[in-house]
Amino acid sequence: MEATFQFDWQAAIDSIPYLLKGIPYTLLISFSGLAIGFVIGILFGLMRVSRMIWLRIPAVVYIEVFRGTPVLVQVLFIFYGLPQILGGPINALVAGIAAIAVNSGAYISEIVRGGVQSIERGQREASLSLGLSRLQAFRYIIWPQALRRMIPALGNQGIISIKDTSLFSVIGVGELVRQGQIYIATTFSALEVYFMVALLYLAITLSLSLALRLLERRGLVGQ
């Protein structure tokens, strides 16, 4: 018995308007979560390189816990577990943003740590010898250089977080994959719809990758 295969391009094209409804949610969760995660990452990344052990230990615990557990488990815990602790439900969109924030924050913490430690100690010592305080040396000398070196890694983390939002369909967030699932339930065009979902994700991530390459060519990132 010979199996037949036929890809329905019309069904794929027809799904696009429905799938596009999920892109605002995908981008909102991604960029809101990443913005919060960046703040968390700076805080815990600097705690991680601190000489004070009472700052380093909480940072290490946070980083290892959220890097060592899947983001799917994290969002399920936030959406289903935290309400039992807080005594009230958590909005699915808020849960998705929170999951991206704490997950990306852990990875960004390590990016910050690596960026700060990549700056030669001699620059800090030279800054102090010129009369700058430790805070001024960090703010005006160390941090600007470290941030430039961190941008490629931060961009890669952004791409990862955008793709991670596809997991949040399990809690009913109306992002790209969820819109595809809803459309498939009425048309049964799974192959065509998921093909278009993949293309839309690819378009988003390639756009971000292109933006990073442009920054690199203009010398705004790296060394």
189 in a domain, yes or no? yes
Which burial class, exposed, middle or buried, applies to 30 when counting CB atoms under 10 A from its CB (0-12, 13-18, 19+)? buried
Q: Rounded distance, CA 37 to CA 149, Å? A: 18
25 in a domain, yes or no? yes
171 in a domain, yes or no? yes
Q: The CATH number of the domain where 74 resides is what?
A: 1.10.3720.10
What token pair was written down for 139?
């703010």
The overall average pLDDT reported for the chain is: 90
Which tens digit of pLDDT belongs to each residue from 190-223?
999 999 999 999 999 999 999 888 887 776 665 5
Q: Is the predicted pLDDT of residue 186 greater than 80, yes or no?
A: yes
| Total of domains in the chain | 1
Rounded to two decimals, the pTM is 0.90
Count CB atoms within 10 A of the CB of residue 54: 8
What token pair was written down for 95?
């849960």
178 in a domain, yes or no? yes
Instruction: Let me know: does 46 contact 62? Beta carbons within 8 Å.
Output: no
142 in a domain, yes or no? yes
Question: Measuring CA to CA, which residue among 51, 147, 53, 164 is closest to residue 108?
Answer: 147
78 in a domain, yes or no? yes
1 in a domain, yes or no? no
168 in a domain, yes or no? yes
Question: Measuring CA to CA, which residue among 178, 190, 164 is closest to residue 34?
Answer: 164
Q: Which domain does 204 fall in, by range?
A: 9-217
